[in-house]
């Protein structure tokens, strides 16, 4: 449990036609990482699919807007990749034959609806105006009428001989013009250059004199256009279901995913090799996945190739997995390094709870962690941290910053500040000593225990002796013996008398580091006192309130501020102590991470 495990090498021999289904079945386990194995490989086993994917890309460019979302989950692809792709493309082409007329009609009605809405806003804007809109629809070979629509911010200048009315509709700049036909035709070209467009309806022939009279007309026409658009969209939905378009699109997406991973598959004309690493140490999940897919496949677990490096898997029980976040922040422990996650399942809650000791606030963090644990993995840390904070809340006698609801089972922090500061120092010393001992365990795993005993074991004795000497000064001699041990061992290891000076320098460096790291844990007590002081400040404001409602509001807001502010600060400090005080004693994180192959997501 304290040691990471190398992933297991697997090989799957599968019929070439079943390679796509086999790769998907393995990916759904979330327990495989593909790695190319030297072996026979055809020049382009899936090159024949490229023209089909090109055809699909062309269809998508023209019609994707009107396709349904790919099915979220469909049964395994039935047939060889080319047959599956051809079948799906045939369904899309057949759908296009019946859908194109409907799409053209739909596009026309949507354009009409958009133009009608512009006229509706225009009439609404000038509902109180005396403008005679009916004059715009009079036939005239000399004068031309236009309604131009531009992106926001466009300045559309018009010559003096043209009458123009500028106005804003929604976020678009509109210009209604009346002028000589030749001049207005030139304005048409100028509008296109400015990324504008001419109203597709032109000047409607049903215009009445006043804007207020036109509003009922245009409202009725908008309603008719909306009904027509809804009817056409419903017709498209029927065509989508008739040709099972969602399922075929999902199959194409899955094949595209397979082709993207195809470079990892050594193949022949008849077979494909799927090789790599798995975190399924017994191989049961892989075998079961292939069996469920009913594939012609043979799976085996031979020794890995000699020139490969196995990725490492952290084999922790469920309660320790959330704490893998700390070691993964700097990498993955190698095969000869301690995986500290199970230890952190105790250490992290103790540090967090000590600095955030409050029953009520801890229960709030616990509730937040439980609510968000499925969506955010990091939220699971709040469960342990909140529970520990509640326990320390009982020890400190604090419930939502109130100290009179439950008695303190241990002490009130502000009443005994020295004790609150000294206890974390002792805890930190034990933690650092543990880190030094873990380094010895790693040396044993690397078969370097003799080297560790000659040098680092002496520093461990010196550190423990110095800690014991604080209580019993005579034990400082044990610390001195540890220092002599370290210097002598360093000299024996280097087999040079001059190494004594290097050993003395090493003693000074390590001693200084250990002193600084030990004193760093005083911040745990300091933040516990800061939390108690902030709670006391909130209670002072509550006592100063003249009304019960005001006091309750202050207490609520104060606790929310403490939870958010202190929660963030305490989380940062806990992470810092773990990473920079504890981990540096033994953890280098030199392992290679295991990256499981992601299963295809048809919805994307």
**Region 129-155: what's the mean pLDDT?**
70
pLDDT at 74: 45
Is 386 buried (19+), middle (13-18) or exposed (0-12) by CB count in 10 A?
buried
Please name the helix (run of DSSP H) or strand (run of DSSP E) that holds residue 175, with its range, or none: strand 172-180
> What residues pair up with 5 in beta bridges, in sequence order?
313
Average pLDDT over residues 96-100: 91
Q: Is the dihedral of CA 243, 248, 249, 250 positive or negative?
A: positive
Q: What is the pLDDT of residue 603?
A: 47
3-state secondary structure of 411: coil
Nearest CA among 184, 204, 174, 185 for reference residue 112:
204
- 43 pLDDT above the threshold of 60: no
Winning range, highest mean pLDDT, from 67-76, 131-140, 483-492:
483-492
Residue 395: pLDDT band (50, 70, 90) is very high
Each residue's pLDDT tens digit, 160-182: 888 887 777 667 788 878 788 88
Q: What is the mean pLDDT of residues 176-194?
A: 83
**Chain Cα centroid distance, residue 432:** 34
The residue count of the chain comes to 604
What DSSP character marks residue 593?
B
Give the pLDDT of residue 202.
58
Any idea which of 211-220, 365-374, 428-437 has the lowest mean pLDDT? 211-220
Q: How does residue 248 score in pLDDT terms, banded at 50, 70 and 90?
A: confident
Spatial contact of 484 and 507, defined as CB atoms under 8 Å apart? no
Of residues 294 and 258, more confidence is placed in 294
Which has more pLDDT, 407 or 599?
A: 407
Are 22 and 293 contacting, i.e. CB atoms less than 8 angstroms apart? yes
Residue 145 host element (H or E)? strand 143-150
* Residues 6 or more apart in contact with residue 512 via CB below 8 angstroms: none
> HSE (CB half, 13 Å, CA atoms) of 37?
20
pLDDT (0 to 100) of residue 480: 93
Residue 382: burial class (beta carbons within 10 Å; 0-12, 13-18, 19+): buried
Q: Which two tokens stand for residue 260?
A: 């993207």
In this prediction, residue 40 carries a pLDDT of 47
pLDDT at 604 over 50: no
Pairing relationship of beta strands 5-6 and 312-313 according to DSSP bridges: antiparallel
* 480 Cβ contact partners less than 8 Å away, ≥ 6 residues apart: 462, 465
Would you state the pLDDT for residue 557? Answer: 95
With cut-offs at 50, 70 and 90, classify the pLDDT of residue 435: very high
Cα–Cα dist 360/389, whole Å: 9
* CA separation for the pair 414, 416 (Å, rounded): 6
Q: What is the mean pLDDT of residues 15-19?
A: 76
What is the pLDDT averaged over residues 183-208?
76
Q: What percent of the chain has pLDDT over 90?
A: 42
Give me the mean pLDDT over the 430-448 stretch: 94
Say which CATH class 8-45+265-312 falls into.
Answer: alpha beta
- Name which of 282-296, 382-396, 455-469 the model is least confident about: 282-296
CA atoms within 13 A on the CB side of 98: 14
pLDDT of residue 194: 84
- DSSP letter string, 72-135: S--PPP-S-HHHHHHHHHHHHHHHHHHHHHHHHHHHHHHHHHHHHHHHHHHHHHTTT----GGG
**Per-residue pLDDT at 39:** 53
The whole-number pLDDT of residue 138 equals: 56
CB atoms within 10 A of CB 458: 24
Q: If we measure between CA atoms, which residue out of 517, 519, 499 comes closest to residue 455?
A: 499
Average pLDDT score over residue span 541-550: 90
Is pLDDT at 278 greater than 90 in this prediction? yes
Question: Rounded mean pLDDT of the chain?
Answer: 85
| CATH class of the domain comprising 132-208 | alpha beta
Check the CA dihedral 579-585-590-596 and report its sign. Answer: negative
Give the pLDDT mean for 315-337. 90
399-419 residue pLDDT tens: 999 988 999 999 999 999 999
Closest to 575 measured CA to CA, from 563, 583, 565 = 583
CA distance 31 to 8: 10
Residue 492 phi, psi (nearest 5): -65, -35
Phi, psi of 278, deg, nearest 5 = -135, 145
Sign, CA torsion 8/282/342/388:
positive
Is residue 515 over pLDDT 90? yes
506/483 Cα distance (integer angstroms): 10
Q: Helices 245-261 & 19-27, crossing angle to 10 degrees?
A: 90
């Amino acid at each position: 449990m304290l040691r990471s495990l190398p992933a297991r090498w697997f090989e799957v021999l599968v019929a070439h036609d079943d390679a796509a289904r086999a790769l998907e079945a393995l990916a759904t386990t979330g327990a495989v990482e593909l790695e190319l194995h030297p072996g026979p490989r055809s020049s382009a086993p899936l090159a024949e699919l490229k023209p089909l994917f090109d055809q699909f890309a062309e269809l998508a460019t023209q019609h994707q807007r009107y396709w349904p979302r790919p099915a979220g989950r469909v049964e395994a692809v039935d047939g060889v990749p080319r047959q599956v792709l051809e079948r799906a493309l045939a369904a899309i082409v057949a759908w296009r034959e019946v859908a194109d007329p409907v799409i053209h009609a739909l596009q026309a009605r949507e354009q009409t609806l958009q133009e009608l809405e512009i006229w509706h806003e225009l009439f609404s804007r000038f509902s109180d105006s005396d403008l005679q809109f009916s004059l715009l629809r009079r036939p005239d070979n000399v004068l031309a009428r236009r309604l131009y629509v531009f992106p926001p911010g466009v300045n559309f200048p018009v010559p003096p001989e043209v009458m123009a009315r500028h106005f804003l509709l929604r976020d678009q700049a509109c210009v209604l013009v009346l002028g000589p036909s030749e001049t207005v035709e030139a304005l048409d070209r100028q509008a296109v250059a400015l990324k504008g467009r001419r109203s597709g309806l032109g000047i409607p022939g049903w215009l009445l004199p006043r804007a207020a009279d036109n509003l009922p007309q245009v409202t009725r026409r908008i309603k008719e256009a909306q009904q027509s658009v809804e009817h056409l969209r419903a017709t498209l939905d029927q065509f989508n279901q008739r040709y099972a378009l969602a399922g075929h699109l999902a199959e194409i997406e899955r094949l595209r995913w397979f082709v993207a991973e195809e470079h990892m598959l050594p193949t022949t004309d008849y077979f494909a090799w799927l090789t790599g690493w798995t975190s399924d140490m017994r191989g049961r999940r892989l075998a079961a996945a292939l069996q469920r897919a009913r594939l012609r496949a043979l799976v085996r677990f031979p020794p890995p190739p000699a020139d490969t490096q196995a990725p490492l898997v952290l084999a922790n029980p469920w309660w320790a997995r959330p704490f893998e976040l700390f070691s993964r922040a700097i990498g993955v422990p190698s095969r000869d390094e301690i995986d500290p996650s199970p230890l952190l399942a105790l250490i992290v809650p103790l540090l967090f709870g000590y600095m955030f000791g409050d029953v009520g606030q801890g229960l709030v963090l616990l509730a937040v962690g439980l609510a968000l644990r499925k969506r955010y993995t990091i939220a699971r840390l709040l469960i342990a941290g909140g529970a520990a904070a509640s326990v320390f809340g009982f020890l400190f006698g604090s419930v939502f910053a109130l100290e009179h609801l439950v008695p303190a089972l241990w002490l009130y922090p502000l009443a005994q500040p020295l004790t609150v500061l000294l206890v974390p120092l002792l805890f930190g010393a034990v933690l650092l000593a543990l880190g030094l001992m873990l380094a010895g365990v790693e040396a044993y795993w690397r078969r370097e225990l003799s080297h560790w005993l000659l040098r680092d074991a002496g520093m461990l004795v010196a550190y423990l002796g110095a800690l014991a000497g604080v209580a019993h000064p005579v034990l400082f001699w044990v610390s001195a013996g540890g220092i002599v041990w370290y210097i002598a061992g360093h000299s024996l290891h280097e087999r040079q008398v001059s190494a004594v000076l290097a050993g003395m320098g090493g003693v000074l460096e390590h001693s200084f580091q250990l002193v600084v790291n030990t004193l760093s844990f005083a911040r745990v007590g300091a933040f516990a006192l800061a939390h108690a002081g902030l709670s006391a400040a909130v209670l002072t404001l509550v006592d100063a309130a003249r009304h019960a409602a005001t006091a309750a509001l202050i207490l609520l807001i104060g606790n929310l501020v403490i939870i958010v502010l202190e929660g963030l600060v305490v989380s940062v400090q806990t992470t810092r102590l773990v990473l920079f005080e504890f981990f540096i004693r033994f953890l280098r994180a030199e392992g290679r991470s295991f990256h499981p192959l992601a299963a295809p997501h048809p919805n994307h």
